[in-house]
Amino acid sequence: MPRHVAIIMDGNGRWASKHGENRSEGHLAGKESLRECCEYAVEKGIEYLSIFAFSTENWNRPADEVAQLMSLMASSVIGEMGTFRKNSIRFRMLGDRSAVPADVLGPIEEAERETASNTRLDLFVLFCYGGKWDIVNAAGKYGRQCYEAALRGEPCPSIDVDGFSRFLETAGVPDPDLLIRTGGEKRISNFLLWQCAYAEFYFTDILWPDFRKIQFQSALDSFAKRDRRYGQIK
C-alpha cells in the first residue's frame, strides 16, 4: 500500500461536454469523486493524499471558470467539514497563499485550524501551486538564510537534498509513492516535480468525475505489482 498518493484530477471539462453540460458541472461532479477517493484512502490506510486543484497555469483560463474554481474551493472546504470530521481528515492547502483571494483564503485557513488535530489522513490540496514555483520559493527561503548569515558575518549554511526539501511546501512529508493522472494525458503538468522523483506513475483514460473507488482500487493494484528499485539493482 502506498503511504502517499498524489492525483492530477484531469478531465472534468471533457466529462461535462460528454454529458451536454457546461464545464462547471464537470468540476462539481469532480468534487464527488474527490470525496469518494478521500474516504477510500482512509479505508485503505493511506496516510497522505495530495490533489492538484488549481495550478499556477490555471490562472490563464477564462475569468468565469477561474472564479468558479475559486468559489468551489471556498464552498467545498466549508461544506466538507462533516466529511473531514467523520473520517478524521486533516486538511491543508499547499501553494502560493499570496495569490489566493482573501474570501477564499479565509475558509481555507479556517478548515486548516478546524481539522488540525485529525489523524487518519493528511489531505493536501495543491491550490495556486506549481512545482517550479515551489522549488524557486524554497530557493528564495534558503537565499534569505544565507543573506541573514552574511549580515552576521557568517558563511552561508551548507545544504543537502534533505535540507533543501525542508524549504518545500511538503516539508516533513514523505514523497508520493504513487502519482495518478486521469483524463488520458501522460504528463506531469508542473505538479510535484521535486517530490515525484521516484513516484510510480499511473495513467488512465477515465475522466476524473468517473474515477471512483473501483478505479482507485485498480490504481492501487497496479502499484502493488511495481518493482521499486530507486536506481539500485535487486
Residues 155-214 that bind ligand FPP (CB under 6 A): 183, 208
| Residue of 4, 5, 12, 104 interacting with ligand FPP (CB under 6 A) | 12
136 in Cβ contact with 109 (< 8 Å): no
User: DSSP E strands: which ranges in the chain?
Assistant: 4-8, 48-55, 89-94, 121-129, 178-181, 200-203
> For the window 36-65, what string marks contact with ligand FPP as x by the rule CB under 6 A?
-----------------x----x-------
- The verdict on 35 binding ligand FPP (CB under 6 A) reads no
CA nearest to 189, candidates 28, 52, 50, 61:
52
Q: Look up residue 179 and give its three cell numbers.
A: 502519482
| Collapsed DSSP state (helix, strand, coil) of residue 92 | strand
Q: Could you tell me whether strands 48-55 and 4-8 are parallel, antiparallel, or unpaired per DSSP bridges?
A: parallel
Which of 10, 134, 177, 210 is the catalytic position?
A: 10
Nearer to ligand FPP, 107 or 137 (CB): 107
Instruction: Collect all residues with Cβ–Cβ distance below 8 Å to 72 and sequence separation of at least 6.
Output: 27, 28, 31
- The verdict on 2 binding ligand FPP (CB under 6 A) reads no
Residue 190 appears among annotated catalytic residues: no
| Segment contacting ligand FPP by CB under 6 A, of 9-17, 38-46, 166-174, 190-198 | 9-17
Instruction: Collect all residues with Cβ–Cβ distance below 8 Å to 154 and sequence separation of at least 6.
Output: none
How many residues bind ligand FPP (CB under 6 A)? The answer is 19
Binding site for ligand FPP (CB under 6 A): 9-14, 27, 30-31, 34, 53, 58, 69, 72-73, 76, 125, 183, 208
